[in-house]
Structure 1
């Protein structure tokens, strides 16, 4: 379920999924050196194992949030065969659009693809 600033992911175990109860919170922050960025807090459980992790994404990489969230979920027990953590396209689109609007970005804004491909290094 999506609401601005928060995506709740819940799934019961079955043939094509694991037991998930994950909250992904986000907010726009500003830093004098980094400029605008998105701060994420991800917490919940995968197959009953609790976790909590926070991460930041620069403005020009924030669109890639689902990839980072999936990587974190896999680190905490999500099996890669189940695919991306944000499976419902409607929820992904709503979160993407909310982040885009809050950051004031527009289609066609420049993106440093080297940073995206190498994890912001």
Structure 2
């Protein structure tokens, strides 16, 4: 029953958002949801949920910080822009430290797909 109710609520929410943006695209009305960068909640909320269920891990901390950065940048609270080269460099440093100092690493641990 709970799954059925959550499906109905989530579906209705997506329907309302879609109709709102359709009206805005057709210039029938002005439609915005909450604040600029609201979509970063799709990164921040699952990261917080993961922290509460599984504890603090580097992956959920990364998504939380990345979502918070995107929210702050969308609202112009900060002006620092992160480049893909910077993200790649940080990932290489993390993986290198994990391989050198972490537990035994297997190939299957770092599957990205």
Q: TM-score, normalised by structure 1?
A: 0.27
Which structure features the higher share of strand residues?
1
Greater relative contact order (Cα 8 A, min sep 6): structure 1 or 2? 1
Larger Rg: 2
